[in-house]
Structure 1
Amino acid sequence: MLTRNSLLDTPMYSTSRKNRSISSDSSLYLCQSQVMPTTSLESSQYSLDASDSMYLLAATQRTIATLTTENEELREHISVLSNALQSSTTLLDRKEQLIQERDTLIRELATRLLLDRQRQL
């Protein structure tokens, strides 16, 4: 299992202070030879050729289609959950009403019993 410590133990990372920090976490350092300056990235001459562009376009379209399908499925699940929540709320309201009616009935019966006992005495 990968943990922060196991990653830091790999030769790629070092916790010594002589190396350059790659994050705001001062305990995580990267060897100087592994740090690519941004100027080399900016001056990179890499450009996409037609096959790379077509591949990226196709991959993007597949991803959009997949996400659209997943979005529709999630909307259906949300609708089902919304209906279930509404039904549960209705049932809880009815339960509360029945509890109040029961409490009222218990109070009325207790009052009648008390009056009957007083009459018998």
Structure 2
Amino acid sequence: MKNKKIIFRGEGFSLVSEYFKARGKEIEMNIVRYPKTVAIIPVPKRGRVMLIKQYRHPFKKKIWEIPAGKLDLKESPLRGAKRELREETGFVARKWKKLFSFYISPGYSTEYM
């Protein structure tokens, strides 16, 4: 990589412009640097899933979603998931099972959930 420049630094994320060579051409790419996150699919009763409704400004309305959030520095995914579930729903789960992990938008973001 030839050059990297921070374009914007926000609360918990940054936008970085990076230049690199690919197939003999120099390419500029804007990347959203984002911390690790967790999402929880609470199942309070068999056949049911708990959703929360939160205002999301990009859509200018409340939308239904599963509880989720950023991990604190050095926080394990399980500890972060337990914290987010409690903060967003007021509930505590007895059983926990990791389903999967993935990059949210690998074409432009480092966010890993």
TM-score (norm 1): 0.15
Q: Going by fraction, where is helix more abundant, 1 or 2? A: 1
Q: Going by fraction, where is strand more abundant, 1 or 2? A: 2
**Structure (1 or 2) with the larger CA radius of gyration:** 1
Query: Using CA pairs below 8 Å that are at least 6 residues apart, which structure has the higher relative contact order?
Result: 2
